[in-house]
Amino acid sequence: MALKMTVRDEGGVTVLALDGRMVLGEATTAFREKVRSLLAEGKVKIVLNLENVTEIDSSGLGAFVASHRSAASEGASMRLCHLGAKFKEVLQITKLLTVFDVSDTEEEAVRAISR
Amino acid sequence: MLEEPTSNEAGLEVVAPGGARRFVRITESPFFIGRGGETAKHLQLADPRISRSCAAILVEAQRHVLEDRGQRHGIFVNGEKIARRVLDDGDVVTFGVENFYELKYCASTLDSSITDVLSRIEHLTTSDPASGGGLHKLNVLLEATALLHSRLPLESVLGTMLDHAITVTDADRGLLLEADSAGGLQVRLARQSGGRHLAAENLTPSQTAIRMALDRHSSVITEDLAQAVPDLQVAVSIVAQRLRAVVVIPLYTMPQHNSMESTSHGRHGDFLGVVYLDSRRPAAFSKLDRRILDALASEAASILDNARLVERERERKRLEQELGIARDIQQALLPRGFRDFPHMTVSGTNIPCLTVGGDYFDVFPMDNGRTAFLIADVSGKGLGAALLTTMLQGALTGMSIGADPARVFAHINRFLCEHAEVGRYATMFFGILDRDGSLEFINAGHPSPFLLCEDGICEPFSEGSFPVGLVDGAEYTVARHQLRPGDTMILFSDGVTEAMDPADDMFGVERFRDALGGLRSAPLEQLQRVVLDGVQRFTRGAAQADDITVLLVRYGASQAS
């Protein structure tokens, strides 16, 4: 599969690390499923680590927004880190930088979400 | 009633009471079926139980309609009595009498040469029941047919195969069961001896017998069951069938030579299905030569396999056709031939990366001499994205009847958030240009168009809002800019800037700007060519990964620009 996902616990914060291509198809479906199941397990602090994501297409962006919405509706917080220059630019053009909570590194994201 | 030749190449498979078959093409309308004379001029069934004027087939609205013209015992289609009925491919017509002709309607016939061959094969088969030769020839024919992509009625071929199995084993009835994707078995076809149709519900196959055949990867007859299951009461379904004799032939594809699976399955390939035969006579199959069963197994498997290939190919062609229709619809949405508006000239092009795509653009007049233009890029690609473009175009026509653009966008956003699949959205750039060069625009998450002006190339249209369909309750605002005569806007979808070369480098905004340098006054067609050629040269043959759309708008106070 194009996308690998690993879940870690960092002091009560769930870190979901993504590895590969977040593109139309299995990857976006699997990602949304994963977030849904994390929320169903009662996780309320989720950090998405995009350091090893090589590509995000329009469907990938849609998946991130949809997951963000799901988290918000469950009363959970979600934060993105290690965005990469290209994805940051896409978020700028689509004005979505204001919608997501973003940190540069995982450590900062975990700290910020724990406050 | 006028007699006219039918253009539809449909026909009837006429099955005589003894099992003999022939194809008769429906060559004229009305097509008369009867016992003799004028009213039987197209198909004569010589039997006193047929009325002189029996039935007729007419062409109505490109379909064939069967009419009862006085058959004493009634005309039946698929067992149901009719007075008048539109015929569908595969419908079986009977005449209300036992042991009689049966007509099967085929919506398209084979080439006459293939028809002749099929009847000749039928003769061979019935005259030499012990030989597998006839079936082998049928199999070769099917392979050739698959190659020719001709319209062979598959159910006919499979029916002939099953009839042959029934004849060779001297069974009463037979079922063809096909393996489905869920690992179960579905009844594909049911026949009784004499080449007659059988309602599948009349035969409940013995699961015990089938399971044994699958376990052994080889044919099973009743005697095998009796040996394996000493207490026959346990094989409940056999008792329920009143001790009918049974033959079960499992069908497998030819094993691939280098496949690892062939070692675990022995010498067998993939499981295709089962031929199931039974007889009222309890010892019907006890003298059957195993070699006959093996020959049947291999030929029947080959036929079924080829039939599935032909089916898959036809389905693929059908889908291709549907996509072709969708493409035509989508192309028709785009503005055809850019008429010059009084204060601007326009040029644009759209190249989807699949048959249909998620980009579109439009130009249309508004009130007061203003003209609207837009580019939209729906997330994803292919049919799902394409459907949204048609939705958008419909919604945006609200603009031309005077609705406020910001409210229309908010409305579209609400609609998409509610009705489109989650995560499906569109980025859009929408502009309204007035005669004096004042531009109002809404940028919904789209990259800023370039502006070629006296001072150079810039991207002054970034001010805007979210894409539509992504964020609930998003608000859209109209921003403003003043164009000067000769200024050219270049709207594009990210398929241009994100086009990739074989080394996975992106075309990018910088290269795009460089390509446009010094071309402020060039004719729009030339500018458009430069952009597309630039992308093509850069990608050096790498496959197009996203839809590419470009729309150029030049403001000119005079016609000369």
Q: Are A86 and A70 in contact (CB under 8 A)?
A: no
- How far apart are the C-alpha atoms of A34 and A24, rounded to whole Å? 16
Please report residues of B whose CB lies closer than 8 A to that of A99: 466, 471
pLDDT at res. A94: 93
Q: Are B427 and B467 in contact (CB under 8 A)?
A: yes
Please report residues of A whose CB lies closer than 8 A to that of B381: 24
Please indicate whether, in this complex, the C-beta atoms of B423 and A95 are within 8 angstroms of each other: no
User: Per this entry, what is the length of chain B?
Assistant: 561
Q: Map residue B233 onto helix, strand or coil.
A: helix
* Count of helix runs (H) and strand runs (E) in chain A: 4, 5
Residues A15-32 have a mean pLDDT of: 92
Please indicate whether, in this complex, the C-beta atoms of A24 and B447 are within 8 angstroms of each other: no
Please report residues of A whose CB lies closer than 8 A to that of B423: 28, 32, 59, 62-63, 65-66
Residues of chain B with pLDDT under 70: 1-9, 108-152, 225-243, 256-267, 337, 557-561
Please indicate whether, in this complex, the C-beta atoms of A95 and B380 are within 8 angstroms of each other: no
The CATH code belonging to domain B1-109 is 2.60.200.20
d(CA A90, nearest CA chain B) in Å: 9
Please report residues of B whose CB lies closer than 8 A to that of A93: 427, 445-448, 462
Overall fold of domain B111-333: Beta-Lactamase (3.30.450)
pLDDT at res. B109: 46
- How far apart are the C-alpha atoms of B78 and B93, rounded to whole Å? 6
pLDDT at res. B260: 46
Which contiguous run of DSSP H or E holds residue B75?
A: strand B75-77
Q: Map residue B63 onto helix, strand or coil.
A: strand
Please indicate whether, in this complex, the C-beta atoms of B377 and A63 are within 8 angstroms of each other: no
pLDDT at res. B264: 45
Counting one residue from A and one from B, how many pairs have CB atoms under 8 Å apart?
Answer: 50
**Nearest residue in B to A92, CA atom:** B445
pLDDT at res. B558: 55
Please indicate whether, in this complex, the C-beta atoms of B446 and A93 are within 8 angstroms of each other: yes
Six token digits for residue B171? 């069974």
Picking from B471, B477, B497, B549 by the largest number of A CB atoms within 10 A of its own CB, the best residue to mutate is B471
Which pLDDT tens digit goes with each residue over B373-424?
999 999 988 888 888 998 898 888 777 777 889 999 999 999 899 888 778 8
Amino acid at position B3, single letter: E
Q: Which residue has the tokens 């009835």?
A: B173
Identify the CA nearest to A47 among candidates A35, A55, A36, A58: A35
Please report residues of A whose CB lies closer than 8 A to that of B470: 62, 65, 94, 96
Please report residues of A whose CB lies closer than 8 A to that of B422: 32, 62, 66
d(CA A30, nearest CA chain B) in Å: 14
Identify the CA nearest to B532 among candidates B514, B548, B545, B546: B548
Please report residues of A whose CB lies closer than 8 A to that of B425: 58, 62, 65
Q: Does domain B338-555 fall into CATH 3.20.20.70?
A: no
Whether the CB of B470 is below 8 Å from some CB of chain A: the reply is yes
Picking from A31, A58, A65, A86 by the largest number of B CB atoms within 10 A of its own CB, the best residue to mutate is A58
Picking from B388, B424, B425, B468 by the largest number of A CB atoms within 10 A of its own CB, the best residue to mutate is B425
Which pLDDT tens digit goes with each residue over B478-509?
999 999 999 999 999 999 999 999 888 999 99
Q: CATH 3.30.450.40 region(s) of chain B?
A: 111-333
Please indicate whether, in this complex, the C-beta atoms of A95 and B470 are within 8 angstroms of each other: no
Q: CATH 2.60.200.20 region(s) of chain B?
A: 1-109
Whether the CB of A6 is below 8 Å from some CB of chain B: the reply is no
Could you tell me the domains of chain A?
3-114 (3.30.750.24)
Helix axes B405-419, B382-396, angle to 10 degrees: 140
Picking from B418, B422, B491 by the largest number of A CB atoms within 10 A of its own CB, the best residue to mutate is B422
Which pLDDT tens digit goes with each residue over A63-103?
999 999 999 999 999 999 999 998 999 999 999 998 999 99
Interacting residues of B146 by C-beta distance below 8 A, sequence separation 6+:
B306, B309, B310, B313
Residues A28-43 have a mean pLDDT of: 94
**Nearest residue in B to A64, CA atom:** B423
Whether the CB of A35 is below 8 Å from some CB of chain B: the reply is no
- How far apart are the C-alpha atoms of A112 and B467, rounded to whole Å? 28
d(CA B437, nearest CA chain A) in Å: 25
Query: Which one of B380, B423, B546 has the shortest CB-CB distance to A65?
Result: B423
pLDDT at res. B452: 94
Q: CATH 3.60.40.10 region(s) of chain B?
A: 338-555
Which contiguous run of DSSP H or E holds residue B139?
A: helix B133-148
Please indicate whether, in this complex, the C-beta atoms of A94 and B466 are within 8 angstroms of each other: yes
d(CA A45, nearest CA chain B) in Å: 21
Whether the CB of B464 is below 8 Å from some CB of chain A: the reply is yes
Please indicate whether, in this complex, the C-beta atoms of B470 and A65 are within 8 angstroms of each other: yes
